[in-house]
Amino acid sequence: MEQQIIIWALFLVAAGYMGWRIWKAFDRRNSGGCAKGCGCAADKVSSVKIK
pLDDT for residue 13: 98
C-alpha angle 31-33-39 in degrees, rounded to nearest 5? 65
Going from the C-alpha of 36 to that of each of 14, 43, 48, the distances in angstroms are: 19, 16, 22
The mean pLDDT of 30-42, rounded to a whole number, is: 58
pTM for the model: 0.53
12 band by pLDDT with thresholds 50, 70 and 90? very high
Residue 15 has pLDDT above 80, yes or no: yes
pLDDT for residue 16: 97
28 band by pLDDT with thresholds 50, 70 and 90? confident
Distance CA 1, CA 17 (A): 25
- The residue ranges of every structural domain in the chain are 1-26
Within 8 A by CB and 6+ apart from 39, the residues are 32
Q: Return the H-helix or E-strand segment holding 13.
A: helix 2-26
